[in-house]
C-alpha cells in the first residue's frame, strides 16, 4: 500500500499541489501545521498506520521532518519496520520496502544530521552572543512579566497558600509560579539586606 503525507506550514498555504502529486496513493494524510515545535497529529496517525511492505510517499523531504535529526529518525524507524520511502521531487532518498537504506543514502542522511547539529550549535552561539551584547548595552532586560508580584501574592492568598490552585487561577503552570515566587523571594531578601 502507498500512503501519502502532505503538509503545509500555515492555514494560508495551499495543499492542492501536493495532493495532486500524491493522487496515486491508496491513502493520504494531510495537515496544515508548522514543521517545528508543533505536534503533527496527522503525521503521527500516518506513521502508526504503516505496515511492513507499505511505502510512505511525500513530495519533498522538508514536508516530513521538523529538523534533519527528526527526518533521519523517521527514515530509520521506517527502515526497521520494513516500510519503504518515496520522495517524489528528491528520488535520491527513495527506499524500497525490501531493500532498506543504501550505504550512500545513509551517508547523505548522516551528513545532513551532522550539518543540522552544527547549524543548531552555531545558532545558539550567535543568539547567546547577541543577548550578551544587548545586555552590555543595556538594551536587553528579558521578557517582561505578564503578572505583577501583587497579583501572584493575591492568588496564593485566595488559594489558602495552595500554589497548584493559585497557578491554575492565574492561568500559568505550577513551575512558572514557582519560578516567579523564587524571584520574588530573592528580591525580598535583597531588599531586607539593603535595609540592614
How are beta strands 55-58 and 2-8 bridged, if at all? parallel
- Three-state DSSP string of the chain: CEEEEEEECCCCCCCHHHHHHCCCCCEEEEEECCCCCCCCHHHHHHHHHCCCCCEEEECCHHHCCCCHHHHHHHHHHHHHHCCEEEECCCHHHCECCCCCCCHHHHHHHHHHHHHHHHHHHHHHHHHHHHHHHHHHCCCCCCCCCCCCHHHHHHHHHHCCCCHHHHHHHHCCCHHHHHHHHHHHHHHHHHHHHHHC
Which one is catalytic: 9, 24, 34, 67? 9
CA distance 108 to 103: 9
CA distance 123 to 63: 22
9 is catalytic: yes
Active site (catalytic) residues:
9
Amino acid at each position: 500500500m502507498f500512503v501519502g503525507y502532505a503538509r503545509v506550514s500555515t492555514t494560508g498555504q495551499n495543499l492542492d499541489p501536493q495532493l495532486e502529486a500524491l493522487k496515486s496513493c491508496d491513502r493520504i494524510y494531510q495537515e496544515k501545521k508548522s514543521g517545528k515545535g508543533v505536534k503533527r497529529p496527522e503525521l503521527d496517525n500516518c506513521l502508526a498506520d504503516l505496515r511492513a511492505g507499505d511505502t510512505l510517499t511525500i513530495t519533498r523531504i522538508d514536508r516530513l521532518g521538523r529538523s534533519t535529526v527528526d527526518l533521519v529518525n523517521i527514515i530509520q524507524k521506517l527502515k526497521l519496520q520494513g516500510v519503504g520511502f518515496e520522495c517524489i521531487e528528491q528520488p535520491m532518498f527513495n527506499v524500497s520496502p525490501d531493500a532498506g537504506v543504501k550505504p550512500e543514502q545513509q551517508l547523505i542522511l548522516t551528513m545532513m544530521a551532522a550539518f543540522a547539529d552544527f547549524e543548531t550549535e552555531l545558532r545558539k552561539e550567535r543568539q547567546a552572543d547577541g543577548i550578551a551584547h544587548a545586555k552590555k548595552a543595556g538594551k536587553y532586560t528579558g521578557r517582561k512579566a505578564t503578572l505583577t508580584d501583587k497579583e501572584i501574592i493575591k492568588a496564593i492568598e485566595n488559594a489558602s497558600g495552595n500554589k497548584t490552585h493559585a497557578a491554575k487561577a492565574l492561568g500559568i503552570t505550577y513551575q512558572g509560579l514557582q519560578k516567579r515566587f523564587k524571584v520574588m523571594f530573592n528580591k525580598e531578601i535583597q531588599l531586607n539586606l539593603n535595609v540592614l
